[in-house]
């Protein structure tokens, strides 16, 4: 029983604001019926876990079928409230394919050939980095609150189809996929002027929906950082608390094992700042391997050793890596950056 007991609400499934609002309406006692895509309902459907879907029933309707539209209109006629997250104009986006997947499949052919020739060690997997939705769609700045939910639905549909194509072309046992999250962190930190409320759901929802689509034979990791464009970090966090919170959620809610976590470290001036690293004590990685992004291209082996010693006070077992990717590092080319990276990392073992 609640103040809205007896109120009937029809919710047309969308992302973030609408499901969050309907969750609150349900908590207050309203009867909420969620109208979802037909393929997400039924006895054979594998509906993803959605933290915002509690407290309400779902019905699958194909709104591209006139009979489905008629059914929806009857439902709406019997309701007190209709909730939908669309605005006049574009209500659905569809991308036919993802050029990044084309590039990955083409690159794998080269990788496999080099491995067969002994240039690449046997047993090494081919890794591809894929952006999470908010990182991929951060350019929708004009009206993010209205445009992101529409774009995100299309993007998640694209990811689902293209993951299937990727794992059909590349043997899952040969593949590793890393989710790259740079804007999700800043979104949750509330430092992006164009994003509205709902930042945690923009991260948590895709964790529960997308990672479970990856076959179990594929290794999966999460890269959590604050971005490198136009400089690193785009935002300097107070400490690692948010990265730890996000990592713990990903491990617990991905719907399959998480094989590694990469958490970006601090600027060099905070190498011995215990308060920055202290949240690592709360990290719950399970069986995932942990890598800390504490290799910086400006202070070499001595700097890495300082950061390694500070982090080791709170986390006993971890690997080290660059704070982010190789693409925007100093040096004439990526090969030199990788050679310097290897030199610094080897030194920490001695």
Give the pLDDT of residue 42.
61
- CA–CA distance, 281 with 93 (Å, rounded to integer): 42
pTM for the model stands at: 0.76
- CA–CA distance, 166 with 105 (Å, rounded to integer): 7
Instruction: Please provide the average confidence, as pLDDT, over all residues in the chain.
Output: 89
**What superfamily does domain 8-83 belong to in CATH?**
Crotonobetainyl-coa:carnitine coa-transferase; domain 1 (3.40.50.10540)
Token pair for 274: 């215990």
Give the pLDDT of residue 333.
73
Q: Pinpoint the residues of the chain covered by CATH 3.20.20.210.
A: 99-348
Give 74-118 as a 3 state SS string.
Answer: HHHHCCCEEECCCCCCCCCCCCCCCHHHHHHHHHHHHHHHHHHCC
- CA–CA distance, 201 with 345 (Å, rounded to integer): 36
Cβ neighbors of 137 (< 8 A, separation 6 or more) are 148, 151, 152, 155
Cβ atoms within 10 Å, residue 191? 13
* SS3 state of residue 70: helix
Give the pLDDT of residue 178.
98
Give 139-199 as a 3 state SS string.
Answer: CCCCCHHHHHHHHHHHHHHHHHHHHHHHHHHCCHHHEEEEEEECHHHHHHHCCCCCCCCCH
Give the pLDDT of residue 45.
55
Q: What is the pLDDT along the chain (350 residues), one digit of tens a residue?
A: 788 988 999 998 876 678 888 889 999 999 999 998 776 666 555 555 566 778 888 888 887 787 888 888 888 888 889 888 766 677 888 888 999 999 999 999 999 999 999 999 999 999 999 999 999 998 887 788 888 999 999 999 999 999 999 999 999 999 999 999 999 999 999 999 999 999 999 999 999 999 999 999 999 999 999 988 777 788 889 999 999 999 999 999 999 999 999 999 998 899 999 999 999 999 999 999 999 999 988 888 999 999 999 999 999 999 999 888 776 666 677 777 888 888 888 888 76
Report residue 335: phi and psi, to 5°. Answer: -60, -45
CATH number listed for the domain at residues 99-348: 3.20.20.210
Give the pLDDT of residue 40.
62
Give the pLDDT of residue 264.
95
- CA–CA distance, 152 with 14 (Å, rounded to integer): 9
Give the pLDDT of residue 46.
53
Element housing 201 (H / E): helix 199-210
CA angle 331, 336, 339 (to 5 degrees): 135
Rounded to a whole number, what is the largest CA-CA distance in the chain?
73
Give the pLDDT of residue 350.
66
- CA–CA distance, 204 with 181 (Å, rounded to integer): 12
- For residues 24-36, one letter each, b for 16 or more C-beta atoms within 10 angstroms of the residue's C-beta and e for the rest, the string is ebbeeebbbbbbb
Q: Pinpoint the residues of the chain covered by CATH 3.40.50.10540.
A: 8-83
* SS3 state of residue 317: coil
Give the pLDDT of residue 172.
97
């Amino acid at each position: 029983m609640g103040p809205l007991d007896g109120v009937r609400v029809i919710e047309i499934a969308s992302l973030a604001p609408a499901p969050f609002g309907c969750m609150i309406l349900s908590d207050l006692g309203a009867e909420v019926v969620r109208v979802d895509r037909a393929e997400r309902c039924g006895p054979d459907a594998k509906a993803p876990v959605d933290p915002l879907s509690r407290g309400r029933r779902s019905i699958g309707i194909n709104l591209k079928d006139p009979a489905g539209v008629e059914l929806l209109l009857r439902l709406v006629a019997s309701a007190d409230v209709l909730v939908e997250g669309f605005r006049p104009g574009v209500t659905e986006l569809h991308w036919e394919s993802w050029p990044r997947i084309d590039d990955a499949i083409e690159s794998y052919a080269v990788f496999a050939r080099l491995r067969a020739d002994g240039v690449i060690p046997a047993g090494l997997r081919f890794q591809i980095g894929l952006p999470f939705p908010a990182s991929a769609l951060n350019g929708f700045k004009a009206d993010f609150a209205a445009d992101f939910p529409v774009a995100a639905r299309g993007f998640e549909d694209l990811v689902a189809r293209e993951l299937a194509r990727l794992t059909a072309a590349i043997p899952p046992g040969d593949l590793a996929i890393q989710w790259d999250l740079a804007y999700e962190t800043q979104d949750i930190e509330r430092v992006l002027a164009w994003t509205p409320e709902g930042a945690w759901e923009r991260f948590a929802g895709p964790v529960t929906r997308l990672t479970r689509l990856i076959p179990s034979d594929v290794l999966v990791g999460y890269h959590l950082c604050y971005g490198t464009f136009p400089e690193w970090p785009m935002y300097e966090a107070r400490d690692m608390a948010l990265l730890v919170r996000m990592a713990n959620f990903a491990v617990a809610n991905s719907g399959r094992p998480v094989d590694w976590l990469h958490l970006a470290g601090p600027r060099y001036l905070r190498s011995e700042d215990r308060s920055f690293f202290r949240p690592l004590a709360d990290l719950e990685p399970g069986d995932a391997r942990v890598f800390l992004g504490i290799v910086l291209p400006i202070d070499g082996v001595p700097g890495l050793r300082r950061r390694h010693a500070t982090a080791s006070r709170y986390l006993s077992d971890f690997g080290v890596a660059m704070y982010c990717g190789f693409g925007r590092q100093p040096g004439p080319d990526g090969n030199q950056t990788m050679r310097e990276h290897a030199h610094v990392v080897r030194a920490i073992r001695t």
